[in-house]
Structure 1
């Protein structure tokens, strides 16, 4: 698991990509908006007007999918960029375990206390606790306890496979890397089509997307194996950038393309808008942000506030749904008009950020700093013995 530390020009590469860290929070915020829109479908009638519920959902119907896909590609890119020259697979797995599992377990327990325990049976609870919920084509299992947790179960598969995937990616000749980027990108785009053609639709369809089969959505969007392609895309794009083979279009154009693809998602079937439409523009933006950082150019996402929000974004992603339900219950489980609900969302967001900060400062950062790397054993003290005694010991 080693990689070079120089850019294609021969100079040292930056090791921390602050622009990509800053981009993490907007991606998490997109997921926050989507989950807020889902509340009305999940038995939390916080918007009093049913039309407002539908309007809000339609406005952000694939924002969560964009955020998740962005994180999956970003994960592969950043891990490849920062891979250590002397790293080993066990050390890498140790760091990833300590990064995600403590926060995951704490938020799982918090969600059980705040809202999930009354309607979660032991099987669903344990499947979610041990990150096995993504292997059952059943939404009550996939999104049980903490609905945001399923993507961490997918990420766990990414982390387990990363040493092998990076090894394979490094064997690709530099002049063929972009060909493999295109092949994997086409594989991602083809996944919804293959799902719709090969996976039986069954009799269960999504409440908020009545034309979308739960079985087909599960295969295309939730099942870890097809989603490994998103992660692999990030790995390959990073290798292309590091080899100087990437055609950078810059953050402005990449951002504009991402916005355009998001709009296009409103005119495509949900199976496609949730997986295939935005993933290539997301990869372009990630690569452009990394190149801007490596070249020391200004970006809007590299300031202290955005980097701080990016640092706590993992905790935010995990805890925001639990905070949202908890605050709504604490306020009396009422319904609100659209202006009131807008103010309530600001409250949700503010408390979720504070809770994320607490998780980051009290759990995530201390644990990763303390135990991410094995402690070195102190060198044995050399004692000077008489030469005759040394020789006797050697002969014995």
Structure 2
């Protein structure tokens, strides 16, 4: 990817950003390039992709003929979507903290975030309505999803009413609105107390599902895929933005600990192994716990390990050009893949397939989703982000100066 263009001021991302605000503090040597975290974004988006394939049958897209194959597949990927979402929430807090600048202001930060997420979100909302959602979505639910406020209603028909992936972007919007305040508070924590705060947030994350079961009425609705899990309690523990701010805050705290040199790194291999193990453990715990709490610590450890590996210049599997490119388009991939799945299935005649045919169909889903994501990234996300993240007069005034200092900073490392 070429890097010989003039950068847009304020568009530095975590793979090439000014040193963090406390860079002068004693701590671990740090790189401004976090390509490993960029590369990790695509596997996180991919596990959401394979989970959403399991939802196709529930939403009227019977793509597998064998009931036993459906059951086996659904069981195998039952926690994959939650794992990917949790990883993204922690990653978001980590990367935004790593790339934060003392000279930034809350309005400038919010402008950059909105320019990055809103155009793609609105476009995919329209595509989803066109491809499959319009016949089943009333005007109120459609508008709640369009304006990204669907996550404040304890009703799955509202939460997932248009694009099933869209709810997590509505939660991220709350994170972005709260980030300037959260970062201000976290910076006031003495370095020697960071690990204690991290432990406290982890306890809070594990307490959330427990409190939802203890305090939230079950109601009369239970999840189709998890009949022992109350919809009301799951909404409080998993979807409602306020409890999920703890995931985001954990990323902020871990980033600060890594920058301060107080984080105990066990490396990417062991962190990745723990993340896989946590997924397996999830099969033996109640769904309301396995959907978030069980995997949160290994996810944070892997993110921190990736950043430290980049800082120390160590090899990782996720820093090559292919993985970084896939990471760059992963935000668009995350948003559009379900709509592409349904669209491709309909174009092929709305058929169900045997296992070999279903495998081929999944490969086709993946390829078409990557192509669509590349188009969204290249034609919508990247140009609009470069053009509108800062006021036009700011660009004209400062671009020549920045052009002499360093090449273009691409949108990487968590897309933040």
Deviation at 1:373, TM superposition (A): 1.9
State which of 128, 148, 152 in structure 2 corresponds to 1:131.
148
Partner of 2:293, secondary structure, is coil
Deviation at 1:10, TM superposition (A): 7.5
| Residue 253 of structure 1: aligned partner | 270
Deviation at 1:179, TM superposition (A): 0.3
CA-to-aligned-CA distance 1:327-363 (integer Å, 9 cap, x gap): 0011111111111101100000000000000000000
| Residue 47 of structure 1: aligned partner | 64
State which of 212, 215, 233 in structure 2 corresponds to 1:195.
212
Deviation at 1:38, TM superposition (A): 1.1
Contact 2:223/2:229 (CA < 8 Å) preserved in 1?
yes
Q: How many residues matched? A: 377
State which of 131, 144, 153 in structure 1 corresponds to 2:170.
153
- Structure 2, unmatched stretches of 5+, are 1-19, 398-416
- Structure 1, unmatched stretches of 5+, are 380-396
Write the distance in 2 (CA, Å) between the matches of 1:191 and 1:338.
39
Are positions 1:121 and 2:119 aligned together? no
Write the distance in 2 (CA, Å) between the matches of 1:341 and 1:6.
54
State which of 245, 261, 268 in structure 2 corresponds to 1:228.
245
Partner of 2:165, secondary structure, is helix
Deviation at 1:250, TM superposition (A): 0.5
Are positions 1:279 and 2:301 aligned together? no
CA-to-aligned-CA distance 1:58-111 (integer Å, 9 cap, x gap): 000000000000000000000000002310000000000001000000000010
Contact 2:28/2:259 (CA < 8 Å) preserved in 1?
no
| Residue 392 of structure 1: aligned partner | none
CA-to-aligned-CA distance 1:278-327 (integer Å, 9 cap, x gap): 01000000000000011111100000000000000000000000000000
Contact 1:4/1:85 (CA < 8 Å) preserved in 2?
no
Write the distance in 2 (CA, Å) between the matches of 1:265 and 1:84.
38
CA-to-aligned-CA distance 1:176-231 (integer Å, 9 cap, x gap): 00000000011101111111111111100011111110000000000000000000
State which of 141, 158, 166 in structure 2 corresponds to 1:141.
158
| Residue 330 of structure 2: aligned partner | 313
State which of 358, 367, 370 in structure 1 corresponds to 2:375.
358
Write the distance in 2 (CA, Å) between the matches of 1:194 and 1:186.
12
State which of 359, 366, 370 in structure 2 corresponds to 1:349.
366
Contact 2:27/2:260 (CA < 8 Å) preserved in 1?
no
Partner of 1:56, secondary structure, is helix
Write the distance in 1 (CA, Å) between the matches of 2:67 and 2:221.
23
Deviation at 1:42, TM superposition (A): 1.4
| Residue 388 of structure 1: aligned partner | none
| Residue 393 of structure 1: aligned partner | none
Write the distance in 2 (CA, Å) between the matches of 1:78 and 1:125.
31
State which of 314, 320, 325 in structure 2 corresponds to 1:303.
320
Contact 1:30/1:63 (CA < 8 Å) preserved in 2?
yes
Deviation at 1:5, TM superposition (A): 3.5
Greater Rg over alpha carbons, structure: 1
Write the distance in 2 (CA, Å) between the matches of 1:340 and 1:5.
53
RMSD of aligned residue pairs (Cα, Å): 1.2
Deviation at 1:7, TM superposition (A): 7.0
Write the distance in 2 (CA, Å) between the matches of 1:7 and 1:68.
32
| Residue 408 of structure 2: aligned partner | none
| Residue 4 of structure 1: aligned partner | 22
Partner of 2:58, secondary structure, is helix
Deviation at 1:9, TM superposition (A): 4.5
User: So what's the TM-score if we normalise by structure 1?
Assistant: 0.93
The 3 A distance-change label for structure 1 pair 124 and 10 is closer
User: So what's the TM-score if we normalise by structure 2?
Assistant: 0.89
The structure, 1 or 2, with the larger RCO (C-alpha pairs under 8 Å, 6+ apart) is 2
| Residue 177 of structure 1: aligned partner | 194
